[in-house]
Amino acid sequence: ESTLGAAAQQSGRYFGTAIAAGRLGDSTYTTIANREFDMVTAENEMKIDATQPQPGQFNFSQGDRVYNWAVQNGKRVRGHTLAWHSQQPEWMRNMSGGALRQAMINHINGVMAHYKGKIYAWDVVNEAFADGNSGGRRDSNLQRTGNDWIEVAFRTARNADPAAKLCYNDYNIENWTWAKTQGVYNMVRDFKARGVPIDCVGFQAHFNSGSPYHSNFRTTLQNFAALGVDVAITELDIQGASPTTYANVINDCLAVPRCVGITVWGVRDSDSWRPGDTPLLFDGNGNKKPAYTAVLNALNGG
Ligand code: G3I
Using one digit for the tens of pLDDT, what is the confidence trace for 98-148? 999 999 999 999 999 999 999 999 999 999 999 999 999 999 999 999 999
Contacts of 189-193 with C-beta under 8 Å, sequence gap 24+, read 189/227, 191/151, 191/154, 192/227, 192/228, 192/229
Task: Please give the Cα distance from 81 to 14 (Å, whole number).
Answer: 19
Active site annotation includes 235: yes
- CB proximity list for 130: less than 8 A, separation 6 or greater: 136, 137, 138, 139, 180, 183
Q: Pocket of ligand 1, candidates 19, 24, 43, 140: which has the most ligand atoms within 8 Å of its Cβ, to mutate?
A: 43
So what's the pLDDT on residue 165?
99
Is this structure's pTM higher than 0.90?
yes
273 Cα to the center of ligand 1, angstroms: 7
Q: What is the pLDDT of residues 242-266, one digit of tens each?
A: 999 999 999 999 999 999 999 999 9
222 Cα to the center of ligand 1, angstroms: 31
Is the confidence metric ipTM above 0.90 for this complex? yes
So what's the pLDDT on residue 228?
98
The reply to whether omega before 81 is within 30° of 0 (cis) is yes
Mean pLDDT for the stretch of residues 184-197: 99
Reported residue count of the chain is: 302
List alpha helices for 79-134, DSSP H.
90-93, 97-114
So what's the pLDDT on residue 84?
98
Task: Please give the Cα distance from 119 to 113 (Å, whole number).
Answer: 11
5 Cα to the center of ligand 1, angstroms: 26
Task: Please give the Cα distance from 245 to 265 (Å, whole number).
Answer: 16
- 115 to 53, 72, 75, 121, 155: CA distances (angstroms): 17, 15, 15, 11, 17
So what's the pLDDT on residue 96?
98
